[in-house]
């Protein structure tokens, strides 16, 4: 395939602080909402505990100890030729409880050192401000994002780090997969996104829309303030994109799949277009929801539109109008009308593998918004086996990524999509978000760490490491 990507295309990899750093109570770090969530095998929910229980296992407390290994890990990223590296700043390293007056110096120093290390190799940091990591104190004391006070604390945190790192970090993103909390059937998504247990609310969905409204206003405020501070900065939003296909040409399937897509678009519509879509207001009306807006919120949304749309893409899903179930969950991207797509295979965790769906997603988003896009997560979680040297023949991962990159290149060359970059998820093995396990691995780099807590933490290159290095070196023309 001819080279279709721009020369400045941002190839790299993506992670989140809590999934790899470890050091959960070091350097003055406070406790975050994810620090009190236990691991759960796939199919079972991870549990939220009321505090730290010594007898329970919290995999992200140590994770892969990137906190102490980051120099060696960045060296490996550089060896692969990364142009960028997406991570998050753990809010609790900077403001341990979230409501302090002044930031924690040791936390600022850690990210200064990390960003310096990346820049030493010419790797651009891409930073998510909130990746399921808000201070537990804010969740407990203020009921998380139900409160506008938390909005103010978030803006303070965000502007503290944006101001501090503005000459090291150009690319920012506000809330990771903000749309995950649309699933209010279980505690976990709302807890991680908003520090709120939506199922315990009288009207869980209304509460979710309220908390999300506060996040929209916070995101727009940060975009505005960041631009005023430094016009070179780009602040994007981030959504989980799972396209819903109609199961058949039955018009009911087609119509319902369009409506189901609002689980995704609701969020990007507000943050990219700068106003609520009319279908949102109709839904509130119909359900009798009363979402509180403060004076000026609407103009803040309009003035703080995201500079780019970052999204994750792992799978597609299929909607059948007469197939209503009760076991929907964003864990596998499903809605309550989801059925298996007979044309695609699934991963070991049931995520339906669909490279064409990535082109479909890119083209649909581009046609809807016409803003630059950034694929900030994509990848295959798999059970890897390594030989005695720590080498893994992960052809399945190479095949997955190759097929997705091919479709991504078609979206650019044939559909005219403006794409900033591609950062596969979990470029180094880390703790899974949905299951809390280590065994669901995504990395080009294997980390010797296991679910029972054992392992040397040694790093080793998988076959995909060498493959991805060539992909980057050829700017995507050698797959
Ligand atoms: C996204 C999250 C990531 C990540 C990824 C893979 O939803 O933004 O944090 O972990 O999914 O999911 P998992 O780790 O559950 O396989």
Atom 14, ligand 1: residue with shortest CA distance: 432
Neighbours of 53 (CB within 10 A): 12
How far apart CA 241 and CA 222 sit, in angstroms, is: 23
Inter-CA distances, 466 with 80, 394, 432, 445, Å = 7, 11, 24, 10
pLDDT tens digits, one per residue of 10-23: 999 999 999 999 99
Question: What residue has token string 């309220």?
Answer: 210
Q: Is 459 helix (H, G, I), strand (E, B) or coil?
A: strand
* Ligand 1 nearest-atom number relative to CA 381: 16
Q: What is the pTM of this model?
A: 0.97
pLDDT tens digits, one per residue of 428-444: 999 999 889 999 999 99
Q: In degrees rounded to 5, what are phi and psi of residue 253?
A: -65, -40
pLDDT tens digits, one per residue of 378-426: 999 999 999 999 999 999 999 999 999 999 999 999 999 999 999 999 9
Catalytic positions, please? 377
Neighbours of 322 (CB within 10 A): 11
Candidates 471, 447, 474, 475; CA nearest to 461 is 447
Ligand 1 mean position, distance from CA 452 (Å): 20
Q: Is 122 exposed, middle or buried (0-12, 13-18, 19+ CB in 10 A)?
A: exposed
Ligand 1 interacting residues, C-beta cut-off 6 A: 16, 19, 176-177, 240, 312, 377, 381, 425, 432-435, 440
Residues 150 and 211: beta-carbon distance below 8 Å: no
Strand order in the sheet with 244-246: 244-246, 317-319, 338-339
Inter-CA distances, 141 with 184, 204, 411, Å = 21, 19, 46
Question: Given this model, what pLDDT does residue 3 score?
Answer: 63
Residues 262 and 279: beta-carbon distance below 8 Å: yes
Indicate whether 156 pLDDT > 90.
yes
Beta strands at 373-377 and 352-353: parallel, antiparallel or unpaired: unpaired
Q: Which domains can be identified in the chain, with CATH numbers? A: 10-473 (3.20.20.80)
ipTM of this complex prediction, to 2 decimal places: 0.98
Atom 16, ligand 1: residue with shortest CA distance: 432
Confidence at 263, pLDDT banded by 50, 70, 90: confident
Query: Cα angle at 312 between 241 and 91, to 5 degrees?
Result: 120
How far apart CA 240 and CA 419 sit, in angstroms, is: 17
How far apart CA 334 and CA 198 sit, in angstroms, is: 19
Q: Kind and range of the H or E element at 36?
A: none
- Of 181, 314, 377, 437, which is best to mutate to test ligand 1, by the most ligand atoms within 8 angstroms of its C-beta? 377
How far apart CA 164 and CA 187 sit, in angstroms, is: 34
Residues 366 and 415: beta-carbon distance below 8 Å: yes
* Ligand 1 nearest-atom number relative to CA 434: 15
Candidates 162, 148, 46, 37; CA nearest to 94 is 162
Indicate whether 69 pLDDT > 60.
yes
Burial 159-176 (b: 16+ CB within 10 A, else e): bbbbebbeebbbbbbbbb
Atom 5, ligand 1: residue with shortest CA distance: 433
C-alpha of 285 from chain center:
31
Indicate whether 466 pLDDT > 90.
yes
Q: Hey, what are 80's tokens?
A: 């692969």
Contacting residues for 388 by C-beta, under 8 A, at least 6 apart:
none
Confidence at 63, pLDDT banded by 50, 70, 90: very high
Q: What share of the chain is helix, strand, coil (3-state, %, to 5)?
A: 40, 15, 45
How far apart CA 2 and CA 475 sit, in angstroms, is: 10
Question: Given this model, what pLDDT does residue 331 score?
Answer: 62
Q: Hey, what are 174's tokens?
A: 């506000």
Ligand 1 mean position, distance from CA 175 (Å): 14
Q: In degrees rounded to 5, what are phi and psi of residue 211?
A: -60, -40
pLDDT tens digits, one per residue of 86-107: 999 999 999 999 999 999 999 9
- Of 33, 425, 432, 441, which is best to mutate to test ligand 1, by the most ligand atoms within 8 angstroms of its C-beta? 425
Ligand 1 mean position, distance from CA 433 (Å): 5
Inter-CA distances, 323 with 117, 261, 263, 336, 345, Å = 52, 17, 18, 8, 20
Question: Given this model, what pLDDT does residue 329 score?
Answer: 60
Q: Most distant CA pair in the chain: distance in Å?
A: 63
Residues 19 and 63: beta-carbon distance below 8 Å: yes
Indicate whether 332 pLDDT > 90.
no
How many Cα atoms are found within 13 Å in the side-chain-facing hemisphere of 309?
A: 30
Residue-level length of the chain: 479
Confidence at 42, pLDDT banded by 50, 70, 90: low
pLDDT tens digits, one per residue of 124-147: 999 999 999 999 999 999 999 999
Q: To 10 degrees, what angle do helices 105-120 and 66-80 make?
A: 20
Beta strands at 345-346 and 352-353: parallel, antiparallel or unpaired: antiparallel
* Ligand 1 nearest-atom number relative to CA 349: 16
Q: Hey, what are 167's tokens?
A: 């000459």
Question: What residue has token string 């559909």?
Answer: 415
Residues 77 and 86: beta-carbon distance below 8 Å: no
């Amino acid at each position: 395939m001819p080279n279709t990507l721009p020369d400045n295309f941002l190839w790299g990899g993506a992670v989140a602080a809590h999934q790899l750093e470890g050091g959960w109570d070091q350097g003055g770090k406070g406790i975050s909402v994810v620090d009190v969530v236990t691991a759960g095998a796939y199919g079972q929910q991870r549990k939220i505990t009321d505090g730290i229980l010594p007898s329970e296992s919290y995999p992200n407390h140590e994770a892969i100890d990137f906190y102490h290994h980051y120099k060696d890990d960045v060296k490996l990223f550089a060896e692969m030729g990364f142009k960028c590296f997406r991570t998050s700043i753990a809010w609790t390293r900077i403001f341990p409880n979230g409501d302090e007056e002044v930031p924690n110096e040791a936390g600022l120093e850690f990210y200064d050192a990390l960003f310096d290390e990346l820049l030493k190799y010419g790797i651009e940091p891409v930073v998510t401000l909130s990746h399921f990591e808000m201070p537990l104190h804010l969740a407990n004391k203020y009921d998380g994002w139900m409160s506008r006070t938390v909005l103010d604390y978030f803006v303070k945190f965000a502007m503290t780090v944006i101001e501090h790192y503005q000459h090291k970090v150009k690319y920012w993103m506000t809330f990771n997969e903000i749309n995950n909390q649309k699933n209010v059937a279980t505690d976990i998504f709302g807890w991680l996104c908003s520090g709120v247990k939506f199922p315990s609310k009288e009207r869980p969905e209304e509460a979710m829309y309220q908390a999300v409204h506060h996040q929209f206003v916070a995101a727009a405020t940060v975009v505005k303030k960041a631009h005023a501070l430094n016009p070179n900065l780009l602040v994007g939003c981030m959504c989980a994109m799972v396209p819903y296909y109609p199961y058949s040409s039955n018009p009911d399937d087609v119509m319902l799949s369009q409506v189901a897509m609002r689980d995704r678009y609701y969020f990007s519509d507000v943050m990219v277009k700068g106003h609520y879509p009319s279908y949102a207001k109709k839904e509130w009306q119909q359900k009798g929801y009363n979402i509180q807006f403060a004076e000026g919120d609407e103009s803040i949304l309009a003035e703080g539109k995201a500079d780019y749309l970052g999204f994750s893409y792992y799978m597609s899903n299929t909607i059948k109008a007469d197939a209503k179930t009760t076991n929907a969950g964003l864990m596998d991207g499903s809605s309550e009308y989801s059925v298996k797509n007979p044309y695609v295979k699934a991963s070991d965790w049931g995520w339906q593998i669909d490279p064409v769906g990535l082109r479909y997603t890119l083209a649909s988003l581009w046609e809807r918004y016409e803003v630059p896009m950034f694929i900030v997560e994509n990848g295959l979680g798999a059970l890897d086996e390594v030989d005695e040297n720590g080498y893994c023949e992960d052809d399945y991962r190479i095949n997955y990524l190759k097929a997705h990159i091919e479709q991504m290149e078609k979206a650019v060359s044939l559909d005219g999509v403006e794409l900033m970059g591609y950062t596969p998820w979990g470029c180094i093995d880390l703790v899974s978000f949905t299951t809390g396990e280590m065994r669901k691995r995504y990395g080009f780099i294997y980390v010797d760490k296991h679910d029972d807590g054992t392992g040397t933490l040694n790093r080793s290159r998988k076959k995909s490491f060498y493959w991805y290095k060539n992909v980057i070196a050829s700017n995507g023309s050698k797959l």
